[in-house]
Chain A
Amino acid sequence: MREAPIEDQQEQESVLGPKRPRLAVFKFTSCDGCQLNVLNMEDELLALGEAIDIAYFPEASSRMTPGPYDIVLIEGSITTPEDAPRIAEIRNQAKLLITIGACATAGGIQALRNWGNVEAFKQAVYPKPEFIQSLSTSTPISEHVQVDYELWGCPIDRHQLLNVLTNLLAGIEPRIPTHSVCLECKRQGHVCILVAKGLPCLGPVTRTGCGAICPQMGRECYGCFGPAENASQSPGVPPNTSSLAQQFHQQFQIIPQDIVRRFRGINGYVRPFREESDAWETK
């Protein structure tokens, strides 16, 4: 064992305990993109492998050791009959459970099935739908077990994940920003997509974290980091989606069915977006 008295001291204070923390990465229904963003930490990956014992991460390693684990990252949503007992068992093995990405945190794009008829969907894709085991809904992890931290985004921002992991290693409570991406957009000096370009930008109601890449790329935000918390209110208050939707409708003459689709996207099942899209469905 190497001697590292300062680190040891810090680790003693960490919620994770004195040893090198054991990390596990589990996947449910998803596209792999958030796990890929773990592997996309090209500059930090090898150092991370030193600081953390990567005990279970099948996408990256054949070494798969059983729990319990100190940190568990969950990618993907719950969509099959086997998923619910599986996530409960994983929760039992996890000291801290962190969801990574829109699927695990909000149900993902596959939650569009929650408004559809899964039996009809199966028939549209498979010649013999009776062989396909699938629930009629796609739901986030937090509907099934307690979640300690949620990382939003489709995909997650790898710097945000790295920040959470390094904070945990240092015994600091991770703080994941919840405010609107507009602040970041303004800070970068982009011309406002909504006001100046007149495009139906979801930025005002969308959580920061992506780096305001859509305005940077000359297009409107489509909400892939999920709903922001309302900065002018207390924490946990949802963003003012109805005001934004009214503006889309009245100023940009966007018809209700297009507003429905606007909110019913990557994070369509999460409550503020879900309620807004449902409200416009009947208008």
Chain B
Amino acid sequence: MPGKPNNARTIKVNMMARVEGEGALHVTVCDQEVQDVQLRIFEPPRFFEAFLQGRHFSEVPDIVARICGICPVAYQMSAVHALEPIFGIQIPQSIQLLRRLLYCAEWIESHVLHIYMLHAPDFLGYESGIEMAKDYPDIVKRGLRLKKVGNQLLTLLGGRSVHPVSVKVGGFSRVPSKRELETLIDDLLWARDAAVETIRWTTGFEFSDPEQDYTFVALRSATEYPMNDGLVASNRGLEIPAVDFEQYFQEKQVTYSNALHCLLNGQSYLAGPLARLHLNYEQLSPLVKDVLSTTGLSLPFKRVSQGIVARSLEVLHAIDEALDIIQQYEAPNDAAVSVTPRAGISMAVTEAPRGLLYHRYQVNEDGTIQAVKIVPPTSQNQRQIEEDLRAFLPHVLDRPDEEVALGCEKIVRSYDPCISCATHFLTLHIHKLPA
């Protein structure tokens, strides 16, 4: 038989589940050799960068939140940290702490959702967290309550957990009193124990995907586990400020995807919890280090499926740090510093739950947005996902198609891809070209 595409065997797995994204995965195999791997993202473009042009800088946090319902705080944080240097304002430490607390809350909510409801079912053989609850009711309930603690903290600081309303350039529209924050201490103390249990639970899973020698890229800070601050660093010696990001990282359009691929000097790399953990071990809270040392695992994690452990460790760190912030918090007199617009251009990188989130803004003298560039985490991981699948497929090509497909889905899901918010048509096609 001739090796033409019309003779190709195509296998469809209808819908990739438990991811936030619309796309398809096309794998072409010929004579037991992987010819091509394409992660196709059909997520319809929403053109945020285009319609932000002409808006007032004060509207930006409300607008960019809508890029992602799962990590709106990340978009708000990158936005305000990019815009504030343009206006030359200094943010008081109490406001910086509150922003960190807000980010902790989002990490908790987003990570716990992925750990318990989206990713764990892969390890335990269930279709969903809800199905898993029939056999593991106490574990799933623990996960839901843990997620709720993150959402309660988000709601206290931002009015609601999805698209919070209090973040503004210069600070917040309202800051909580210390007493308000203290109402969450009991829940956070419970959550801290639950997070330790979560780490023990996820480290017991079986991780069978191939080990990879990843280029990890994350913020690295000398003073804190990175959220809003630090240099963009890698395990290969990169260390640059956000203003140089576009000199090193380039976005590339591929014909089969609506998401741009972001590459580091033309090469794939991994952003997100695995990278943050490896590059910032020293900044983890002592409790997280202690628990990690008892798991028998050591850094770096070289399997992407171990992202579930990395997320569990970061949940504990975020809870521990939230408790710490609440303890030292003193409410500032003013919820925000006043802002006088002026013209300029500036950039910031913060750490979204899924990894680096780069924003660049150009503003004119009356505060109107002239140009915007946003590089989300999933477009950065997209090429690495394809590389991982290329490494994985040779190990499983002798297996039935369904098994190959499920294995590929699990690799993609390990990244917690937020293909910003898409239709979930991740249809897997395997083209097997006869030799």
Are B69 and A121 neighbours in the complex by a CB distance under 8 Å?
no
**A218 in contact with B174 given A134-B45, A154-B163 (CB within 8 Å):** yes
At the interface with chain A, which of B121-129, B212-220, B231-239? B121-129
Checking A31, A59, A113, A261 against B55 with a beta-carbon cut-off of 8 angstroms, the contacting residue is: A261
**In the assembled complex, which residues on chain B have CB atoms less than 8 Å from the CB atom of A110?**
46-47
8 Å CB contacts to B: which residues of A1-59?
26-37, 39-40, 42-43, 45-46, 49, 54, 57-59
Are A124 and B44 neighbours in the complex by a CB distance under 8 Å?
no
- How far does the Cβ of A156 sit from chain B's closest Cβ, in whole Å? 9
**A33 in contact with B70 given A46-B130, A128-B253 (CB within 8 Å):** yes
8 Å CB contacts to A: which residues of B20-45?
20, 22, 44-45
- How far does the Cβ of B411 sit from chain A's closest Cβ, in whole Å? 15
Are A155 and B69 neighbours in the complex by a CB distance under 8 Å?
yes
**In the assembled complex, which residues on chain A have CB atoms less than 8 Å from the CB atom of B19?**
59
Checking A154, A217, A265 against B159 with a beta-carbon cut-off of 8 angstroms, the contacting residue is: A217
Are B50 and A121 neighbours in the complex by a CB distance under 8 Å?
yes
Residue of B with least CB distance to A54: B130
8 Å CB contacts to B: which residues of A92-130?
108-110, 112-113, 116, 118, 120-122, 124-128
**In the assembled complex, which residues on chain A have CB atoms less than 8 Å from the CB atom of B53?**
124
- Please report the C-alpha to C-alpha distance between residue A128 and residue B174 in the assembled complex, in whole angstroms: 43
Are B130 and A45 neighbours in the complex by a CB distance under 8 Å?
yes
**In the assembled complex, which residues on chain B have CB atoms less than 8 Å from the CB atom of A58?**
15-18, 424
Checking B141, B147, B165, B423 against A217 with a beta-carbon cut-off of 8 angstroms, the contacting residue is: B165
- Please report the C-alpha to C-alpha distance between residue A214 and residue B165 in the assembled complex, in whole angstroms: 6
Closest 9 CB pairs of A and B: A33-B69, A61-B128, A213-B159, A218-B174, A121-B50, A58-B424, A219-B173, A62-B17, A42-B148
Residues of A within 8 A of B (CB): 26-37, 39-40, 42-43, 45-46, 49, 54, 57-64, 76, 79-80, 83, 108-110, 112-113, 116, 118, 120-122, 124-128, 131-134, 154-155, 210-211, 213-214, 216-219, 222, 224, 258, 261, 265-266
Query: Is B260 located at the chain interface by the 8 A CB criterion?
Result: yes
**A36 in contact with B158 given A59-B20, A61-B127 (CB within 8 Å):** no
User: Size class of B's contact patch?
Assistant: 35 or more
Told that A61-B127, A118-B47 touch, could you supply 10 new A-B pairs with CB distance under 8 A? A26-B423, A45-B130, A60-B18, A61-B131, A62-B121, A109-B51, A116-B51, A122-B45, A219-B166, A219-B173
The listed residue with most B CB atoms (<10 A of its CB), out of A33, A83, A120, is A33
Residue of B with least CB distance to A123: B50
- Please report the C-alpha to C-alpha distance between residue A123 and residue B250 in the assembled complex, in whole angstroms: 17
- How far does the Cβ of B15 sit from chain A's closest Cβ, in whole Å? 5
**A35 in contact with B15 given A60-B129, A110-B47, A127-B253 (CB within 8 Å):** no
**In the assembled complex, which residues on chain B have CB atoms less than 8 Å from the CB atom of A108?**
66
**A32 in contact with B165 given A42-B144, A62-B17, A125-B47 (CB within 8 Å):** no
Query: Is B421 located at the chain interface by the 8 A CB criterion?
Result: yes
Checking A36, A60, A214 against B128 with a beta-carbon cut-off of 8 angstroms, the contacting residue is: A60
Residue of A with least CB distance to B112: A42
- Please report the C-alpha to C-alpha distance between residue A38 and residue B302 in the assembled complex, in whole angstroms: 34
Residues of B within 8 A of A (CB): 14-20, 22, 44-47, 49-51, 53, 55-56, 59, 62-63, 66-70, 72, 113, 117-118, 121, 127-131, 133, 137, 140-141, 144-145, 147-148, 151, 158-163, 165-166, 168, 172-174, 253, 255, 258, 260, 335, 418, 420-424
**A31 in contact with B66 given A42-B148, A46-B141, A128-B255 (CB within 8 Å):** yes
The listed residue with most B CB atoms (<10 A of its CB), out of A26, A126, A210, is A126
Checking A62, A132, A155 against B258 with a beta-carbon cut-off of 8 angstroms, the contacting residue is: A132
Please name 18 pairs of A and B residues whose Cβ atoms are closer than 8 Å in the assembled complex, sorted by A: A31-B68, A32-B70, A33-B72, A39-B117, A54-B128, A60-B130, A61-B131, A62-B18, A62-B128, A109-B46, A109-B51, A116-B50, A121-B50, A124-B53, A125-B49, A128-B255, A218-B174, A219-B173
Are B133 and A49 neighbours in the complex by a CB distance under 8 Å?
yes
**In the assembled complex, which residues on chain B have CB atoms less than 8 Å from the CB atom of A32?**
20, 68-70, 418, 421-422
Checking B133, B141, B423 against A28 with a beta-carbon cut-off of 8 angstroms, the contacting residue is: B423
The listed residue with most A CB atoms (<10 A of its CB), out of B63, B160, B172, B423, is B423
**In the assembled complex, which residues on chain B have CB atoms less than 8 Å from the CB atom of A35?**
69
**In the assembled complex, which residues on chain B have CB atoms less than 8 Å from the CB atom of A34?**
69, 162
- Please report the C-alpha to C-alpha distance between residue A60 and residue B117 in the assembled complex, in whole angstroms: 7
Residue of A with least CB distance to B167: A217
**In the assembled complex, which residues on chain A have CB atoms less than 8 Å from the CB atom of B44?**
28-29, 79-80, 83, 133-134
- How far does the Cβ of B353 sit from chain A's closest Cβ, in whole Å? 13
- How far does the Cβ of A263 sit from chain B's closest Cβ, in whole Å? 13
The listed residue with most B CB atoms (<10 A of its CB), out of A120, A213, A224, is A213
- Please report the C-alpha to C-alpha distance between residue A249 and residue B150 in the assembled complex, in whole angstroms: 41
Are B163 and A217 neighbours in the complex by a CB distance under 8 Å?
no
Are A31 and B67 neighbours in the complex by a CB distance under 8 Å?
yes
Are A222 and B62 neighbours in the complex by a CB distance under 8 Å?
yes
**In the assembled complex, which residues on chain A have CB atoms less than 8 Å from the CB atom of B117?**
39, 60
**In the assembled complex, which residues on chain A have CB atoms less than 8 Å from the CB atom of B162?**
33-34, 36-37, 40, 155
- Please report the C-alpha to C-alpha distance between residue A133 and residue B18 in the assembled complex, in whole angstroms: 25
- Please report the C-alpha to C-alpha distance between residue A36 and residue B47 in the assembled complex, in whole angstroms: 22
The listed residue with most A CB atoms (<10 A of its CB), out of B50, B141, B168, B260, is B50
Checking A46, A49, A124, A222 against B50 with a beta-carbon cut-off of 8 angstroms, the contacting residue is: A124
- Please report the C-alpha to C-alpha distance between residue A46 and residue B424 in the assembled complex, in whole angstroms: 23
Checking B47, B118, B137, B159 against A216 with a beta-carbon cut-off of 8 angstroms, the contacting residue is: B159
- How far does the Cβ of B139 sit from chain A's closest Cβ, in whole Å? 12
- How far does the Cβ of B161 sit from chain A's closest Cβ, in whole Å? 6
**In the assembled complex, which residues on chain A have CB atoms less than 8 Å from the CB atom of B50?**
113, 116, 120-121, 124-125
Are A217 and B173 neighbours in the complex by a CB distance under 8 Å?
yes
- Please report the C-alpha to C-alpha distance between residue A155 and residue B160 in the assembled complex, in whole angstroms: 9
Residue of A with least CB distance to B251: A127
Residue of B with least CB distance to A220: B173
Residue of B with least CB distance to A26: B423
- Please report the C-alpha to C-alpha distance between residue A199 and residue B385 in the assembled complex, in whole angstroms: 47
Are B69 and A36 neighbours in the complex by a CB distance under 8 Å?
yes
The listed residue with most A CB atoms (<10 A of its CB), out of B47, B161, B173, B420, is B47
